[in-house]
Amino acid sequence: SKQGFVAPLDGTLVKAPNEGTIYEIGQGSKHPISAAVFKNRGLSFKNVSTLSVEEMASFLVDGFAKPKDKTFYKVAESGQLYYFKDGTKRTISAFVAKQQRITPDFTFSKQENASWPDGIAVAPRDGTYLKGDGAADVYLVVKGQLKPLTYAAYKARKLTPKKISVIPQAEVDAYEKGELLTK
């Protein structure tokens, strides 16, 4: 241990005397907790331990404390929507937010959001037909994956352009792809 201090157990809430910032200990580092994440996780001030200035200084800061699992939130500066699940943040496009009526329950800062690991984007609802605005490929969303359709499958399903949502190509490219549908 550095300077003879042993890090408290992961998940311990700590602060220095006469300082407002509360940190969560994780893997030997300290992670600042914003007021929004503190509220999101239902934490309590009575569970915060005050350590000496020297002991607090012995822990390196490593990213912000994460929100609780299955949190819908937006980033204050950009308004971009995310879903925090299984330790990762997953972007939610405007199309998916509108389709699934997703609204944020919390607002976190750009700095907090940037410190959390990226996950796979939240896919459109299963059964959605879509295509990107930069390519001709048409996809069907099945179990969160985009499955491309052959021309034969397109004809067999009697699809019309009206039944296909056109979204930005970059969004299509960000989703997980599945196997080709031939009928």
Q: Is the pLDDT of residue 2 over 90?
A: no
**pLDDT cut 70: percent of the chain above it:** 98
66, 69, 75, 79 alpha-carbon torsion, rounded to 10°: 180
CA distances to 2, 24, 46 from 53, rounded to whole Å, are: 14, 16, 20
Phi, psi torsion values for 88, nearest 5 degrees: -130, 155
- Supply the pLDDT for residue 79: 96
pLDDT digits (tens, 9 = 90+) for 51-94: 999 999 999 999 999 999 999 999 999 999 999 999 999 999 99
Q: Which one is predicted more confidently, 5 or 158?
A: 158
Pair of tokens at residue 175:
């989703």
The pTM is what? Answer: 0.87
Asked if residues 183 and 152 have their Cβ atoms less than 8 Å apart, the reply is yes
Q: Categorize the per-residue pLDDT at 13 as very low, low, confident or very high, splitting at 50, 70 and 90.
A: very high
Q: Categorize the per-residue pLDDT at 3 as very low, low, confident or very high, splitting at 50, 70 and 90.
A: low
- Supply the pLDDT for residue 1: 44
